[in-house]
Amino acid sequence: MSKTKFNVAVVGATGAVGEQIIGLLEKRDFPVDKLKLLSSARSAGTVLNFKGQEITVEEAGPDSFEGIDIALFSAGGDVSKELAPHAVRHGAVCIDNTNAFRMDPTAPLVVPEVNADQIDKHQGIIANPNCSTIQMVAALKPLYDSYGISRIIVSTYQAVSGAGAKAINEMLRQSKEVLEGRDANPDILPVGSLPVKHQIAFNAIPQIDKFQDNGYTLEEMKMVRETKKIFGDEDIAVTATCVRIPVIYGHSESVYVELKNDYELEEVKQLLAESPGITLVDDPAAQAYPLATDAAGKNDVFVGRVRRDLGNARGLNLWIVSDNLLKGAAWNAVQIAEIIAAKA
């Protein structure tokens, strides 16, 4: 693919992540020769702007990828499973934002700050991890390299935008209903196999995705499995509790990690502060720590509340925040595309 410019397709162009991808391609001045925007039949015909050019969104199909070099998918797992192999057949490298290929042994699962070396091992498809996994492993990578990690316990506080535009609208509608003294009528959350829905406004729902046979949700098991694959370490003990909260953008995580070796707290903070893609916000005296409202719209992963665990000398507690649509999805994918382009 020795080219200076690339024909790029964005699948799911009218969705929240797709729009972020298009914006990043423009903002980063990605070397695009031709940009093809693809969506479902329902959204086909929509006109979007890219670098002052109006581009009409087309319906995605098996033959949409002729001449495409890089295809960025964010239209749902079923769409990726159906169309990504066709894109590969046409010679494109696919960067997939869904769960479709994350645990496929032939598809690298990549966070550039953690395992960019895996990109070259692709067989046509590179998987983007789950948003909550991305920010956690990006923050833990320097600790893993310096001290080793034996155990991770994570509790997430995830924004409603992770469940799509309908979930955002439901939260805003319910908030208005509650403030006006009316009943909140839930229709969307939690997304699961049962018709039961719960109020998200002024609430916390300890379920993201469907429950599995082991009592964990699929979101929680994604974090477990993906963390092991990204670090290439099946011996890390990982457990997760994932919670949806009434925040629009920005996932927050409380992470407890047990290191294999002794550490100095100031050295840990220095490692984090010097790591690419990480912003350390950790000044308790000034009440400075990462907030979802501050992380929204930014590409970095923010880390704070860094403190030694009271019950384990090698235990460490951190607070990790990131924009779930940017680093958690669109920006991670564009980072991968930039690495591919730089090597072409």
Q: Return the active site residues.
A: 131, 251
Among the listed residues 143, 136, 128, the one whose alpha carbon sits nearest the alpha carbon of residue 321: 136
305 labelled binding-site residue: no
The verdict on whether residue 111 carries a ligand-binding annotation is no
43 appears as a binding residue in the annotation:
yes
User: Does 79 appear as a known binding residue?
Assistant: no
Cα of first residue to Cα of last residue in the chain, in angstroms, is: 5
SS3 258: strand
- DSSP E strands in 144-299: the ranges are 149-158, 237-244, 251-259, 278-280
- Cα separation, 54 vs 42, whole angstroms: 19
Residue 158 among known ligand-binding residues: yes
Which H/E stretch holds residue 33?
strand 32-39
Tell me: is residue 20 an annotated ligand-binding position: no
14 marked as binding residue? yes
Annotated binding-site residue? 161: yes
Report residue 170 as tokens.
């439901």
Residue 162 labeled ligand binder: yes
Compute CA distances 140 → 149, 231, 268, 291, whole Å: 9, 10, 10, 18
* 308 annotated as a binding-site residue: no
Binding positions for phosphate are: 102
Binding residues for NADP(+): 14-17, 42-43, 161-162, 324
In the annotated binding site, the residues are 14-17, 42-43, 102, 158, 161-162, 244, 324
